[in-house]
Chains A and B, each alone.
Chain A
Amino acid sequence: MPRRIVSLWFPRMASDRILRSHPISAPFAVTSYEKSTERLYCLNSKAIRLGLAPGMGLSDAKALCPDLLTRAADHYADDRFLKLLARWADRYCPWVGFDGHDGLLLDVTGSTHFFSSEADLLDDIHDRLYSYQLNVRSGLAGTIGGAWAVSHFSKGVVPNGQLKAALSPLPAAALRLDETTCATLQRLGLRTIGDLLATPRATLGRRFGLPLMRRLDQALGDQAEQVNAVAPDVSYAARLNFPDPIGLYDDVAAALERLLHRICEKLKTQEMGTRVLLMTCQRVDRASVQVELRLARPMRDAATILPLFERSVREIDAGFGIDQIRLEALSVEALPAKQLDVGGAQVKQNDALSDLITRLGSRIGLDKIKRFQVADSHIPERSFIVSPAAYCEAEGEWEVQSGRPLRLFSPEPIDGREKSPPTAFRWRRMRFSVAQATGPERICPEWWLDDPDWRSGVRDYWRVETRQGRRLWMFFTPQNPAWFVQGEFA
């Protein structure tokens, strides 16, 4: 089947996008900051009729037309808008690609028969876009280059086989060439594509090199060119509008359940699981309440997620009522389908633990729930790592090490400057007499890490048993003589 390509060009997209939401009849321009001045970037038809042109400085334009209304350009918003248009365009064909920042390419091969003729297809596109208040120019041809040339410099449908004839009268700029090449061609008197075709290829190739020849071949279909289709944007979000505002817990929970089912269904088909869910409740007074649920493992089972939401949903202030609820999975991870009884009880227990972590996390924050992991250091405070339990697995082998206390705290100074352990001391307003001291165990600071707690130099650790019963972990710093208590044994 011969290829058919539609090229759509939105010559005034930036201004059209803004005027759609703020319709005005006065001359209007979108400005952007280029070459250290504010310049006109996109104009509406009225401004063009007054003699303004894109690229003109804003102050010049204001002098010409004092009642010009302007708005700063937002290229991100424009790109988003073009993305929306691309999504809209898949009503005509499934293969839609971007063409720069202001155009779309539609590969309509095999889908034109839904309309009585190709011209009807273009008319339909024009009618619809006109009703959306967008200016558009279009071209339909057998190649991307051809369709582009027609949409930018002519209009209508070019039947297969008549491409060369249709392109010949168009200016050389219709070949998607850069400005300098266009100017040179102009200077040489090669004004139209027809002139170029009449010139021997060897001469052209030697003078202009590969780019011009490639564009020429692409326009005529001698060299292949593909439409790069936009990957579909999968978003895991669902929304529910209510005819009357709701405010009871049961109602919100029921709505949430419906939304969850929809999202989980989608997650299931994509084999994904969600980590973060955001529920946004729009209230009648236009305020919105957001509830975030962070899960300790990727999940996509609505029945399990719903109870985890319960606490936060109960805390929502519904005000005068909620009239829209939107649920979105903000972060998703791959969660491939698994056979149910692999791992058996162990997996089930792990899942139960993850659910518990999620539940606790919704109250105190997921980062406050931690697990210990082995670290390679002989400094007591750094011989283990504390990391959030939701994002790490229990792993590593713990070696039984005698002489380490059960409790650690920041060093608390006690009296004494002698090298040998004191026979009696006061700690936390209690009096202790030493019965036995085991040590010293010398630990040097890690010189490659600057730890303010270890600035006092090496430490001699002693395990001190007191007559009162308590067994303390104390250390002496020989370089700055002082005694500290840092831990307590069982």
Chain B
Amino acid sequence: MMTEFKQLFPLQVGRVHEACGSGAIAFAAMACGQAGLRVLWLQVGWQSEQLNPMGLVQFMSPKNLIVAQAENHTDLLACTEDGLRSGAANLVVAEVTQTLDLTAGRRLQLAAEQGGSTGILVIPEGAGSNATQTRWHCSPIFRGNHKTEENLTLQHWQLIKNKTGTLNNWKVYWDAKAHRVIVVSEDGQ
């Protein structure tokens, strides 16, 4: 039996998930938007790419967002762990820039379980840890001939790791009015 999208998204609470690819930030933003609660967004300080609240507003209200800049990779992971464990933020997004080892991944997973918040790690391609619940490869795709306003966020999401089921991939877009992710088609069908 193929894994259904609604079994996996919204992401399972109390677990850490990973996203990679050029659409990973959008994936995190959409996940935050659908969860619709407090979000802690962590970055490494030297990163020049910043989140733009004016663009984020179609996914979630920047009111619910707190951004933090850690000095290095270790601090980033420590802050992510603290954030997950405290449970004060429902979602913790961390933009990881280095490879995660199994220890780090497992620690984050335990922290998320304890605090009951969901973690999303935006990772460079191929840098994930085996402890993750799901890993998604996200890439934006050109909307082709279907030129509607909604398709402006059209993405191709590949589930490339899943602890509890089989893999699959979908074409999705964000519906700003309904405030949720809409599946256009299941690939391979």
Which A residues are within 8 Å of any B CB, using their own CB? Answer: 349, 352-353, 355-357, 359-360, 363-364, 368-372, 380, 383-384, 386, 389, 394-396, 398-402, 404-410, 435-436, 465-471, 487, 489-490
Contact = CB atoms under 8 A, between A and B. Distances in A.
Contact of A490 (B66, B68, B140): B140
B128 interface: no
Given A404-B55, A406-B25, A490-B23, A356 B50 contact: no
A390 to B, nearest CB: 10
A42 to B, nearest CB: 52
B49 A349 contact: no
B75 A407 contact: no
A364 B76 CA distance: 9
A314 to B, nearest CB: 13
A387 to B, nearest CB: 11
B58 interface: yes
Given A371-B66, A400-B176, A490-B25, 10 more contacts: A368-B69, A380-B52, A384-B62, A389-B66, A395-B63, A398-B61, A404-B52, A407-B49, A465-B142, A490-B140
The 7 A-B residue pairs with the shortest CB-CB distance, nearest first, are A490-B26, A352-B88, A404-B54, A406-B55, A372-B53, A356-B88, A408-B52
A300 to B, nearest CB: 20
Q: How large is the interface on B (under 10, 10 to 19, 20 to 34, 35 or more residues)?
A: 35 or more
Contact of A394 (B29, B50, B64, B142): B64
A401 B140 contact: no
B40 A364 contact: no
The interface residues of chain A, by DSSP majority, are classed as mixed
A384 B57 CA distance: 12
A400 B83 contact: no
Interface string B145-175: 0010100110110000000000000000010
B66 A357 contact: yes
B67 interface: yes
**Residue from the set A356, A370, A400 with the largest chain B CB neighbour count within 10 Å:** A356
Classify the secondary structure of B's interface with A.
mixed
Nearest to A368: B69
B189 interface: no
Contacts of B23: 469, 490
A360 to B, nearest CB: 5
B87 interface: yes
B83 A356 contact: yes
B182 interface: no
Contacts of B102: none
B98 to A, nearest CB: 17
B99 interface: no
Nearest to B30: A490
A393 to B, nearest CB: 9
